[in-house]
Structure 1
Amino acid sequence: MNIDDYESLPTTSVGVNMTAGAIAGVLEHVVMYPLDSVKTRMQSLTSPASDLNIMSTLRNMITREGIMRPIRGASAVVAGAGPAHSLYFATYEMTKEQLTKFTSLNHLNYVISGSLATLIHDAISNPTDVIKQRMQMYNSPYTSVLTCMRDVYQKEGIRAFYRSYSTQLVMNIPYQTIHFTTYEFFQNKLNLERKYNPPVHMIAGGAAGACAAAITTPLDVVKTLLNTQETGLTKGMIEACRKIYRMAGPSGFFKGMTARVLYSMPATAICWSTYEFFKFYLCGMKPDQYKSSITGRSELSPSRKADTDYVLPKSTAVDDVDEHETSSPPVKDAALLHPTPPTVNAAGAIKTVCELSTRPAAPTINLHTRHTDVKSPYDRGFSST
């Protein structure tokens, strides 16, 4: 590993990344949970208030079902978001760092790292999403997480908690690809050295969440239908798409897009800024020593095997022999900068040093002599001896 590769490595460990990711995931979902409940209501196909805007939907939930209705089911998210985001961020950081040894394509690195992190994250979070959305939907009979989990398991079996897993992967892999690529893009533009910079983390996170959420809204509507099962038993993604199109038309796939973007933009900004803060805080380093991730300049750079660490000096005698044998022209720059003394012959560097040591000492120069005082060659500050 050369010095450039060493300096490009992050200063945080896997344990720090996991701890920071768990805290960031829980805080993100808890803070934005009421807006997530509004999004689920707006994506519902059977809710009588599904055509309302964001504020009207939130007001309707509070006035008809109580002030605590928008946060019902939040405990399920807290239980699932911690371990899911812990492995999510640790997997992404570790995979991104390891892939720098095998590929020089930035976007390919982000796609592979984000996809692998999504596989692990969704395997943990998918059951909690089912419980959360069953409790968020209109006219839900569930008032506690344990009651909902037990009832779903008894009526539909364990497969109910992973019925939308394939759809969630189809949605989240492009979502996370856009998410991480956008975040890294803004980081490379605004924070190339990967220092702790809260404004940049919030801007990059918010932009990443907004872009990814807007593009993947149709798949999120399909996932909501599979999780809630509010139109009867829906077995797969294709059947869910047919039901949405039949009941709401093409515009049904974009239900709740505004709420989803307004939810994802601050949520990802909170998530990334919290994650970067705790990474910086837990590593215990000074700001000038801290590096959160591999940087854009030295990231994904191909290895240079031809580089040499040490350059040995060449003998002057060998150079002279090579010049006589090959009859190559001498280097002009070297001759101008270091002219050969007239006493030096072709015997080599050792004889040159010996002869130079026996040369008579040069006359001393009197630096106090003024130019106007010079009258003769012996009055210029040189001794007559």
Structure 2
Amino acid sequence: MNPEDYETLPTDNVTTHMIAGAIAGIMEHCVMYPLDSVKTRMQSLAASGTEGISETLLRMVRHEGLLRPVRGMSAMVVGAGPSHALYFSSYEYLKNTLTRTFNSSKFDTLAFGASGCIATLIHDGFMNPAEVVKQRMQMTNSPYKSALRCAISIYRTEGFKAFYRSYTTQLTMNVPFQSIHFVVYELSQKALNKDKLYDPKAHMASGALAGGIAAAITTPLDVCKTLLNTQQTPVASGMVEAVKTVYRLKGVSGYFRGMQARVMYQMPATAICWSTYEFFKYALGTTPDLRLLPSASGTVISADSASTTTDTELMTDDSIRTEVSNEKYNLKARELPAMSGAGLYGTISFNTMHKADFQQQKDSFLDIGHT
């Protein structure tokens, strides 16, 4: 498969989008997970907020062990797989549907933003419980030894609603985050990848730019979400109370705690996510078979959905013939020998057939099959 074939891949293949999305989500969260742990520590109101990224990371390792920055990663693997599978598949479906509905490039930005918003609603419904467990595991002096024990403890002591305490804040943050993210990504692709080919460098650059801009703008809501998820002193029960608590204790600057770590986390994480997703979308895509059977009458048989024919089969059903032009084809069966070629991605065979009933009409058919 050549890169030029990238845009011919089926964009409505839900299975491809879900598999690519799941792998991309897991890669995104796992590769950058230590920096995510640092961000959570820096956003905590219980911390002084004066330490930098490297100092916070070194302190975690020095006082709590080498593996401390990756504690809780298993929760993200469980949550990120299905949530990102639904996230990307729903986004692709909605984006294609809306762009076809609007049928104008000037509405593309609206289509990208709306698709991102709806996809986020689905994503956060599956991801929020994993976020709660993850951040409980990341906080300072966390009493939990594993993600499973953490989830069981939260359920027993705080009830099921604890897993969705920050859901409103998460949506309030992620809807603008993902809208900005998708709009910037798609616009960057138009600038860096005008031919819409599979281009890893363009996908990574667009993803990093989109993630960095969206992360910086939505940092204040991320600080409130961290407060609601960790429930460290002081505690908060809702988004409004969290906003007030942050301002009362840390002032306006409190809303931007950990912004540097958040941007540094999101830029490579989003780049990894998009490049991984686009790679697997490209690798898992398939091109449908082609059947072209021209005759002297100026018609062709198009059978994209038909099964592969053998060398001796002849497709003569007039019901699947479509008119393409008035140009006549003067191919003679015995003048064009049967040929076949096998390559890395399949086999293409050219078979010429002649039917006894058509000897006087000299009708000829050319069958091109790709398997």
- Equivalences for 1:124-203 in 2 at 5 Å? 124-203=126-205
* Paired position in structure 2 for 1:55: 54
SS in 2 for 1:100: helix
For the 8 Å contact 2:76–2:134, the answer to whether it is kept is: yes
- SS of the equivalent of 1:142 reads coil
What is residue 208 of structure 1 aligned with on the other side? 210
TM-score under structure 1 normalisation? 0.71
2:24: which partner in 1?
Answer: 24
Counterpart-to-counterpart distance in 1, 2:250 and 2:55: 20
Higher strand share: 2
Cα distance, 1:136–1:233 mapped onto 2, change above 3 Å: same
Structure 1: state its 5+ residue gaps: 1-6, 287-308, 313-385
**Aligned with 2:100: secondary structure?**
coil
Hey, what does 2:89 align to over in structure 1? Answer: 90
Q: CA deviation at 1:233?
A: 3.7
TM alignment of 1:327-338, pairs within 5 A: none
Cα deviation code 1:49-91 (max 9, x no counterpart): x320000000000000000100000000000000010000000
The one-letter amino acid paired with 2:25 is G
How far residue 285 of structure 1 moved from its aligned partner, in angstroms, is 5.5
Deviations 1:335-366 (A, max 9, x none): xxxxxxxxxxxxxxxxxxxxxxxxxxxxxxxx
Structure 1 residue 9: Cα displacement: 7.0
Once residues 87 and 133 of structure 1 are traced to their aligned partners in structure 2, the CA distance between those partners, rounded to angstroms, is 23
Provide, for residues 185-230 of structure 1, a one-character-per-residue CA deviation record: whole Å limited to 9, x for no partner. Answer: 0111121232110000000000000000000000000000010111
Which letter does structure 2 place at the counterpart of 1:35?
L
Q: Which runs of 5+ in 2 are unaligned?
A: 1-5, 289-322, 327-371
Within the alignment, does 1:239 sit opposite 2:241 as a pair?
A: yes
1:55-134 equivalent positions in 2, closer than 5 A = 55-103=54-102, 104=104, 105-134=107-136
| Cα separation, 1, equivalents of 2:137 and 2:124 | 19
Per the TM alignment, residue 234 of structure 1 is displaced from its structure 2 partner at its CA by 1.2
State the partner residue of 1:290: none
Considering only aligned residues, what root-mean-square deviation do their CA atoms show, in Å? Answer: 2.0
Separation of aligned partners in 2, 1:150 and 1:280:
40
- Residue 298 of structure 2 is matched in structure 1 by none
AA partner of residue 68 (structure 2): R
| Structure 2 SS opposite 1:193 | coil
Q: 1:94 and 1:272 mapped to 2: Cα distance?
A: 17
The match for 1:217 is 219
TM-score (norm 2): 0.73
Q: Give the aligned residue type for 1:64.
A: H
Provide the secondary structure at the position in 2 that maps to 1:230. coil
- Partner residue of 1:248? 250
Distance 1:232-1:249 versus aligned 2 partners, 3 A rule: closer
Opposite residue 147 of structure 1, the aligned amino acid is R
Name the count of aligned residue pairs: 283
Higher relative contact order (CA 8 A, sep 6+): 1
* Structure 1 stretches of at least 4 aligned residues deviating more than 6 Å after TM superposition: 309-312
Provide Cα deviations, 1:107-165, integer angstroms capped at 9, x if missing partner: 11011100110000000000000000001011111110111111111111100000100
CA distance in 2, matches of 1:199, 1:82: 24
AA matched with 2:79? G
Match of 1:376 in 2: none
Identical aligned residues as a percent: 56
SS of 1:180's partner is helix
Q: CA deviation at 1:231?
A: 2.0
Judge conservation of contact 2:7–2:196 (CA < 8 Å) in 1.
no
